[in-house]
Structure 1
Amino acid sequence: MQDTPPPNTPAPVPEIASAPVHDALGLTNGGPVAHIALDGQVYVLRITRAGKLILTK
């Protein structure tokens, strides 16, 4: 019998050539939106109902 992860457990994230990996739900505190600041500009990261990511300025 195989062990199955509990519901809502994030899937393992593959390593990407030494770039940091951040969990999107962690960035949004479990919600659908996060604001990200870079060089005085604020970007909006959204998680869609389909589970896709959209980053806008």
Structure 2
Amino acid sequence: MIAEAELAPASDQPVPVVNSADLLGSAREITILHGTEAYRLRLTRHGKLILTK
């Protein structure tokens, strides 16, 4: 179980909000590069998002 403190933002600044449609566009899957790692963000047929490494 994740403690509430782990979910809180690191500062008092508002957390940016990004619409998933802005990321995916018309695609059902994108690759997100984070440093040297690549992550796959996929939209399932049930409308859920799955992020995998």
**Fold shared per TM-score above 0.5:** yes
Unaligned stretches of 5+ in structure 2? 1-12
Q: How much is the aligned-residue C-alpha RMSD, in angstroms?
A: 1.3
Which residue of 24, 36, 41 maps to 1:45?
41
Counting helix residues as a fraction of each chain, which structure ranks higher?
Answer: 2
TM-score for both structures, normalised by structure 1:
0.63
Unaligned stretches of 5+ in structure 1? 1-16
Structure 1 stretches (4+) deviating beyond 3 angstroms? none
TM-score for both structures, normalised by structure 2:
0.67
